[in-house]
Amino acid sequence: MERVDVSILGRDYSLACSPSEKEALLAAVRLVDQRMLGVKGSGKIASNERIAVMAAIQIAAELLTMRAPDGPLSNNAVGDFKRRIDDMNGMINEVVAASGVAK
């Protein structure tokens, strides 16, 4: 593991990651820092904890609405995949329970 020192919203953090993950980690840190600075810049929220929560919600909302790249699933958002998988698992569990087959 490699130690990576970063700064988010003016606070320093030491993180650990494998060398192969370092660039992705730094990109994630930049995104989080930018979002938190944006929330702070709006002037409506003062505490760092609330700024972090609002930034996390923004990033999560983007992730859940992100579309799959070209291909047969290109019209589905990531959040839709999770909901569909959960629905399928529920149906499978119902069929297994109704058939009396042990899991």
Query: Concatenated DSSP letters for 12-63?
Result: EEEEEE-GGGHHHHHHHHHHHHHHHHHHHHTSS--SHHHHHHHHHHHHHHHH
Residue with the larger pLDDT of the pair 19 and 83: 19
Mean pLDDT of 85-95: 86
Which two tokens mark 65?
A: 């609405």
| Residue ranges covered by each domain of the chain | 2-99
Give the pLDDT of residue 71. 66
Q: Which residue has the higher pLDDT, 84 or 41?
A: 41
Summarize the confidence of residues 73-92 as an average pLDDT. Answer: 77
Structure confidence at residue 97 as a pLDDT band (50, 70, 90): confident
pLDDT score at 72: 65
